[in-house]
Amino acid sequence: MKKNIALLTFSASLISLNVVAQGDPKATEVWEPEPKVVKTGAVNTPPSDAVILFDGKNLNEWESVKDTTQPAGWTLGKGFFTVKKGTGNIQTKRKFLDYQLHIEWKIPQVIHGEGQGRGNSGLFLASTGPGDEGYEMQILDSYNNRTYSNGQATSIYKQKVPLANATKRPGLWQTYDVIWTAPRFNEDGTLKSPARVTAFHNGVLVQNNVELTGATRYIGQPEYKAHGASEIKLQDHGDKSEPISFRNIWIREL
């Protein structure tokens, strides 16, 4: 009888710990293994069949996520645009299913903070609906800036650790080249086939046809919600670090 009581007490303790962990963002942080650092080279130009999402002149292909009747409120510079803090995320006006995406981004040369508070933004590869950002590929200053491995640059946030850390130092332009295969769903909303991602960071393979287990969750495990073609979003993270800039964004529908 005493053994049964002890077993029940132990089981209850495990359940209690699990409940507590569900409310703690650190419960889903992975710090090991740490991706090795590699060095990188130059950028490329849009192919002839690409849809140009930003050519350096205007933000006509983008809109505010807070109010889709409003244009993207970020700051336009000479050949690039920069996150305007407090305006919220922006998204493409067009919806996409499977695609190849090229995007370039730059951390300010003078940058403060550490970990997740150092040059944080995000590329949401697909949206799962209003109020739910979708599947995030992390954008972060991961140059000599340690954080949890499934939260550093090019991670599928809190889900897939990159194969390498190819981040350049702050002040230099960086490239993401992403192949996105959207998930497919049955008529009843159940998952038919999962989303898949292949990605290169500054020419280095960092995600190799990985299979996702659902959309991004800051706390808790990823999960799927049925959707079709959707917008691509860029994140106004809202932290205290200096805002990130973007340029040369194009996409090829597959």
Task: Going residue by residue through the chain, which has 254 residues, state the pLDDT in tens, using 9 for 90 and above.
Answer: 555 555 544 554 545 445 555 689 999 999 999 998 988 776 678 889 999 999 999 999 999 998 888 889 899 999 999 999 889 999 999 999 999 999 999 999 999 889 998 888 999 999 987 767 799 999 999 999 999 999 999 999 999 999 999 999 999 999 999 999 999 999 999 999 999 999 999 999 999 999 999 999 999 999 999 999 999 999 998 767 788 999 999 999 99
Report pLDDT for 129: 77
- Provide the pLDDT for residue 253: 96
Tokens linked to 28: 């889903």
130 and 222 share a domain?
yes
C-alpha of 33 from chain center: 20
| Shared-domain flag, residues 25 and 134 | no
* CATH code assigned at 58: 2.60.120.560
36 shares a domain with 117 = yes
Domain count across the chain: 2
60 and 22, same structural domain? no
Q: Quick one: 64 and 2 in the same domain?
A: no
What is the structure's pLDDT at 238? 72
Q: Based on the fold, state whether residues 151 and 90 are members of the same structural domain.
A: yes
**Collapsing DSSP states into helix, strand and coil, what is residue 7?**
helix
Q: For residue 22, what are the domain limits?
A: 1-30
The pLDDT assigned to 18 comes to 59
197 CB-near residues (< 8 Å, 6+ apart): 125, 135, 137, 156, 160, 178, 179, 180, 181, 207, 209, 210, 212
DSSP 165: B
> What pLDDT is stored for residue 23 in this prediction?
85
Residues 117 and 243 placed together within one structural domain of the fold: yes
User: Do 133 and 218 sit in the same domain of this protein?
Assistant: yes
* Same structural domain, 44 and 20: no
| Model pTM score | 0.86
Task: Name which of 226, 223, 206, 207 is nearest 215 in CA terms.
Answer: 223
Bridge partners, 205 (sequence order): 200
Residues 49, 11, single domain; the answer is no
Tell me what pLDDT residue 43 has: 67
The reply to whether 23 and 137 lie within a common domain is no
The pair of three-digit structure tokens given for residue 17, joined into one six-digit string: 């710990």
Distance from chain centroid for Cα 137: 2
Same domain, 7 and 130: no
